[in-house]
């Protein structure tokens, strides 16, 4: 009999009292229940003690892991700080090198301009004044020399503009101008060139005078020249180029439309980048620098305008730019 039950039984039974078979059976059942209860309790206590041991071990492991993570985090943070410092130093060095490169190009370009101007002057004297007894072959060679010299001068001028843009030294002088007058005078520069290739170059003037625009006329002239020059270069003989201008959303919008070689779809993305030239343009014009549109974009952005284009390879291209119609007296 279970000891607890035995104690209870002794407490309440009378000495020497015989146990009936029913009572004996009942006591056996109760005793078994007591014993089962003991086993369950022992099991429960055991599993509690095991679980709490495991739990405290797990807790210890988690704490250790957290400490290791903290150490790792600090080391990563330190590495990031070191890398950032290295990158800052490298970036400063690159900026410095870029400045030196820009200064070098600027000095070299200025130094080259003087002898090139002398060559230009000498060649033009030989051609214009007409050196006696020049054969047509000699004249044509002189012409080629003159044209190549012109190309180098143009390239150097473009590079000087680019160095000025990149060093932030491009100075602007704004005044209120009628864009139509500027377009008219720009087109005059290209009439001869267009005529020799039978290209129809025209200005589709707006029905009424457009408002004055606050702009740097010399810089906008450069933009127009670059766009019209491209249109002439990338248009086939007997082609057509139309320049037009209109008022749109309080902006002057100028278009230069040609029916030339167009720009291949895949190459449109880089068109305004420095020195970028599309494949078909490389064939059409060997002397391009890939700087004209970069310069144009920078100038138009300085005027708080936009420049863009639409083009279909083999069908033609339309470049456009906008300039806001600012109030007179308001500085851009």
Q: Residue numbers of the site for ligand ADP (CB under 6 A)?
A: 226, 230-231, 234, 258, 260-263, 271, 276-278, 281, 288-294, 317
Query: In terms of CB distance, is 122 or 193 closer to ligand ADP?
Result: 193
Kindly tell me which of 292 and 324 has the beta carbon lying closer to ligand ADP: 292
Q: Which is nearer to ligand ADP, 245 or 296 (CB)?
A: 296
Measured from the CB atom, is 217 or 290 closer to ligand ADP?
290
From the CB of 288, what's the least distance to ligand ADP, in Å?
3
Give min distance, CB of 293 to ligand ADP, in A.
3
CB-CB contact of 153 with 116 (8 Å): yes
Report residue 209: phi and psi, to 5°. Answer: -60, 135
Calculate Rg over the CA atoms of the chain. 45
Q: Buried (b) or exposed (e) across 82-103, using 16+ Cβ within 10 A? A: eeeeeeeeeeeeeeeeeeeebe
Q: What gap in Å lies between CA 266 and CA 258, rounded to an integer?
A: 20
Q: Are 317 and 234 in contact (CB under 8 A)?
A: yes
Instruction: Tell how far CA 214 is from the center of its chain.
Output: 29
Between residues 205 and 313, which has the closer beta carbon with respect to ligand ADP? 313
Task: State the minimum distance, in angstroms, from the CB of residue 122 to ligand ADP.
Answer: 27
At CA 274, angle to CA 268 and CA 277, rounded to 5? 45
* Shortest spacing between CB 229 and ligand ADP, in angstroms: 7
> What is the smallest separation between the CB atom of 292 and ligand ADP, expressed in angstroms?
3
Nearer to ligand ADP, 271 or 326 (CB): 271
What is the DSSP-derived secondary structure letter of residue 264?
Answer: -
Interatomic CA distance for residues 78 and 70, integer angstroms: 12
With respect to ligand ADP, which residue has the nearer C-beta, 4 or 191? 191
Q: Which of 319, 130, 114, 135 is nearest to 229 (CA)?
A: 319
Q: Is the CB of residue 176 less than 8 Å from the CB of residue 328? A: yes
Judge contact between 223 and 215, C-beta under 8 A. no
CA 175 to mean position of chain CA atoms = 32
Kind of pairing between the strands at 240-248 and 316-324: unpaired
Residue 332 and residue 303 in contact, taking contact as beta carbons nearer than 8 Å: yes
Tell me the closest approach of the beta carbon of residue 65 to ligand ADP, in angstroms: 59
**Closer CB to ligand ADP, 232 or 326, in the complex:** 232
> Token pair 């019209």 is at which residue?
228
CB of 262 to ligand ADP, least distance (A): 6
Smallest gap, in angstroms, from Cβ of residue 157 to ligand ADP? 12
């Amino acid at each position: 009999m279970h000891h607890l039950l035995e104690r209870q039984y002794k407490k309440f039974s009378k000495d020497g009292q015989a146990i009936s078979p029913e009572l004996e059976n009942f006591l056996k059942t109760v005793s078994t229940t007591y014993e089962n209860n003991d086993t369950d309790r022992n099991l429960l206590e055991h599993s509690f003690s095991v679980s709490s041991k495991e739990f405290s071990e797990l807790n210890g492991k988690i704490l250790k892991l957290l400490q290791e993570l903290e150490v790792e985090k600090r080391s990563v943070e330190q590495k990031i700080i070191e890398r950032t410092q290295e990158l800052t130093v490298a970036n400063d060095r690159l900026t410095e090198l870029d400045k030196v490169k820009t200064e070098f190009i600027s000095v070299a370009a200025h130094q080259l301009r003087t002898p090139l101007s002398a060559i230009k002057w000498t060649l033009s004297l030989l051609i214009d004044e007409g050196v006696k007894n020049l054969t047509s072959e000699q004249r044509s060679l002189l012409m080629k020399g003159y044209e190549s010299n012109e190309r180098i001068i143009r390239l150097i001028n473009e590079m000087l503009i680019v160095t000025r843009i990149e060093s932030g030294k491009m100075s602007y002088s704004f005044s209120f101008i009628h864009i139509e007058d500027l377009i008219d005078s720009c087109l005059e520069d290209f009439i001869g060139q267009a005529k020799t290739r039978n290209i129809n170059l025209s200005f589709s003037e707006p029905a009424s005078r457009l408002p004055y625009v606050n702009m740097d006329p010399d810089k906008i002239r450069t933009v127009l020249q670059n766009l019209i020059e491209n249109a002439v270069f990338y248009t086939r003989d007997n082609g057509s180029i139309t320049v037009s201008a209109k008022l749109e959303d309080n902006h002057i919008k100028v278009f230069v439309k040609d029916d030339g070689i167009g720009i291949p779809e895949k190459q449109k993305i880089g068109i305004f980048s420095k020195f970028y030239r599309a494949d078909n343009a490389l064939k059409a014009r060997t002397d391009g620098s890939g700087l004209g549109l970069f310069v144009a974009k920078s100038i138009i952005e300085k005027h708080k305008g936009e420049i863009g284009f639409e083009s279909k390879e083999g069908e033609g291209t339309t470049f456009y730019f906008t300039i806001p119609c600012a109030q007179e007296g308001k500085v851009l």
